[in-house]
Amino acid sequence: MTSLSQFIPPLVILVLLLLAAAWSTWLERRILGLWQDRLGPNRVGPFGLLQVVADMIKIFTKEDWIPPFADKVVFVLAPMILMISMLLGFAIIPFAPDIQIASFDNALLFVLALSSISVYSVMLAGFSSNSKYALLGALRTAAQMLSYEVFMGLALMGIVVLSGSFSLNEIVAAQEEQWFILSQPLGFVLFLIAGVAESHRAPFDLPEAETEIVAGFHTEYASMKFGMFFIGEYLGVIFVSAFISTLYLGGWQGPWLPPLAWFILKTSLFVLLFILLRAALPRPRYDQLMRFGWSVLLPLALVNLLLSALWQLSVGH
Amino acid sequence: MMESLFIVAAGLALLAALLTVSAHNAVHALLYLLTMMLALALIFLMLGSPFAAALQVIIYAGAIMVLFVFVTMMLHRGELSLSEERRLFYFNMARGPLLLSAVLLLELLVVITQLPPEYGMQAQATGALSDGAGATSALVAPGDISVKALARLLFGDYLLLVVLAALLLLAALVAAIHVSRLPQAAPETATVAEPRPMPCTGTDTGTGKQTSDEEPR
């Protein structure tokens, strides 16, 4: 039964996702411009929409340079790991009731596993570049992502307790009457913070803090390999947004509009929030970041889990 | 289908394990080890325990190995450590370990050939777990262990072991915090002691005070 038509929907989703990630670079620059009272890229095509095409031509025609002092195999491998782990994540997202690439019971664990794997991309990029700035960026990333993964997992457990399942379909189904953002407000905030940290976006962009360590882990990268990190970051933003809307905002559920429209609406809301965060917040110092994580977020995540479990034991049954 | 998948995964795990030992570049060795862990996770999945597979990736591959790579990255000295590895490790060194593992391999072969054929790995894995799960064993499909069954086992029959492991981890954590706090005491006393020889230069006492102010934060 493995016909060729089976591969078409995932392929369409893949292409659409890559396009969405590419155009969210334009969206970010445009909206940052708007919020910071300047124009942003508005020259190429209507509203500057074709800026992405120009950027792509530029990135593709650049020399694909590997530094002679780099660890070549690992250097090439690193951006691929990021792209693959981010794209794999979308496989389990239920975009609409009948649009989902793979549905299985342990989808939440799958996402946590993927976010663990994606740490390697940044670390290996930093190591293989054989340069001090890249190494510093990689070390920061490793510490940051390891710490924030802990709260991410713990914050998610609140949802698992309430819905009784690791499966995204069942979690969406469990939100038919009430979205989890209402019953899990603390878990939502914790997961949002952890999600921003995991996709290392501002204000948690210490791995690539350009004022301190040039460009962090991708200092030595150029051309399409840099492009992969770049697109991978935006894929990460879209993924975390889609994941949060699935977990806390009821996924595709909503009145009047078709499910897919609701899903895209919720996801774009979070993408905009990500951009707003970058526009509004300064970057914390590295030790502040770690301390905030371990001494504020971790206890809160544990309290959230405890309260959810108590609620489920006393009221839920 | 399942069998050929298993053979590929097991072969990959073996190959990666071999390369882990033989690789000269420490980070490459760790990457091979990571590959082996992912292959093991795949095998867990095929044996019917998706939860164990996920934990294998999240905890071993995603957390513990990251720390290994972290430390190795900091201590790595590029070509220098590569040439050192080449000088220090050569094939003749492996003779002793090879001999010992050959004995283990022999024992494994004996065990495998002595077992009755229906008591294969899959039957063993699912049998042990669904037996322990008691009432839920009927609900658990053969070759698929649910998280609930696993949890019931961990917090039922093996509760004592889980609590002991937790206590051990807690003790290790406390010890780690203690060890990491120790060196901080030294600079504090140093900054207290520092101002004493300072008074000959007027401005330096000010900076000494500043550093001692920053310390407790």
Residues of chain B positioned with their CB less than 8 A from the CB of A110: 54
Find which of A113-117, B144-148, B183-187 is predicted with most confidence, using mean pLDDT.
Answer: A113-117
Q: Of A24-38, A165-179, A204-218, give the lowest mean pLDDT range.
A: A204-218
Q: Which of residues 37-56 of B touch A (CB under 8 A)?
A: 50-51, 54-55
The contacts of residue A232 (CB under 8 Å, 6+ apart) are A79, A82, A83, A86, A121
Tell whether A126 is within 8 A of chain B (Cβ): yes
- Does residue B103 sit within a domain? no
Contact A74 B70 (CB under 8 A): no
pLDDT above 90 for B167? yes
- Does residue B182 sit within a domain? yes
Average pLDDT over residues A52-76: 81
pLDDT above 50 for A11? yes
Contact A106 B147 (CB under 8 A): yes
pTM of the model: 0.77
Average pLDDT over residues A291-309: 88
pLDDT above 90 for B170? yes
- Does residue B166 sit within a domain? yes
Domain boundaries, position B202: 158-217
What is the Cα Rg of chain A in Å?
20
Can you give the pLDDT at residue B118? Answer: 55
Average pLDDT over residues A239-251: 87
When the pLDDT of each residue in chain B is averaged and rounded to a whole number, the result is: 72
Can you give the pLDDT at residue B55? Answer: 85
The contacts of residue A298 (CB under 8 Å, 6+ apart) are A150, A151, A154
Can you give the pLDDT at residue B197? Answer: 46
Can you give the pLDDT at residue A110? Answer: 86
In chain A, what percentage of residues exceed pLDDT 90? 1
| pLDDT tier, A134 (very low <50, low <70, confident <90, very high otherwise) | confident
- A-B CB pairs within 8 A amount to 70
Domain boundaries, position A205: 4-316
Contact A123 B73 (CB under 8 A): yes
Contact A127 B27 (CB under 8 A): yes
- Smallest CA–CA distance from B28 into chain A, residue: A74
Tell whether B106 is within 8 A of chain A (Cβ): no
CA distance B10 to A14: 31
Average pLDDT over residues B30-52: 86
- Select the residue from B60, B73, B75, B140 to test the A interface by mutation, using most A Cβ atoms within 10 A: B73
Compute the residue count for chain A.
317
pLDDT above 60 for B123? no
Can you give the pLDDT at residue B7? Answer: 86
On the CB side of B67, how many CA atoms lie within 13 Å of its CA?
A: 7
Q: Look at chain B and report how many structural domains it folds into.
A: 1
Among residues A158, A154, A152, the alpha carbon closest in space to that of A185 is found at: A158
What is the Cα Rg of chain B in Å?
26
pLDDT above 60 for B198? no
Residues A143, B67 contacting (CB under 8 angstroms): no
Average pLDDT over residues A132-151: 81
Residues B29, B20 contacting (CB under 8 angstroms): yes
Candidate from B34, B61, B66 with C-beta closest to A146: B66
Average pLDDT over residues A206-222: 69
Which DSSP letter does residue A166 get? S
| pLDDT tier, B119 (very low <50, low <70, confident <90, very high otherwise) | low
Can you give the pLDDT at residue B80? Answer: 76
In chain B, what percentage of residues exceed pLDDT 70? 69
- Does residue B70 sit within a domain? no
Can you give the pLDDT at residue B168? Answer: 94
pLDDT above 70 for A209? no
Residues A142, A123 contacting (CB under 8 angstroms): yes
Q: Of A187-196, A214-223, A264-273, give the lowest mean pLDDT range.
A: A214-223
CA distance A289 to A299: 15
Can you give the pLDDT at residue B134? Answer: 40
Partners of residue A99 on adjacent β-strands: A96
Can you give the pLDDT at residue B214? Answer: 39
pLDDT above 70 for B48? yes
> Three-state DSSP class for A96?
strand
Sign of CA dihedral A21, A27, A28, A30: positive
| pLDDT tier, B136 (very low <50, low <70, confident <90, very high otherwise) | very low
Can you give the pLDDT at residue B144? Answer: 64
Can you give the pLDDT at residue B171? Answer: 94
| pLDDT tier, B165 (very low <50, low <70, confident <90, very high otherwise) | very high
Residues A245, A271 contacting (CB under 8 angstroms): no
- Does residue B188 sit within a domain? yes
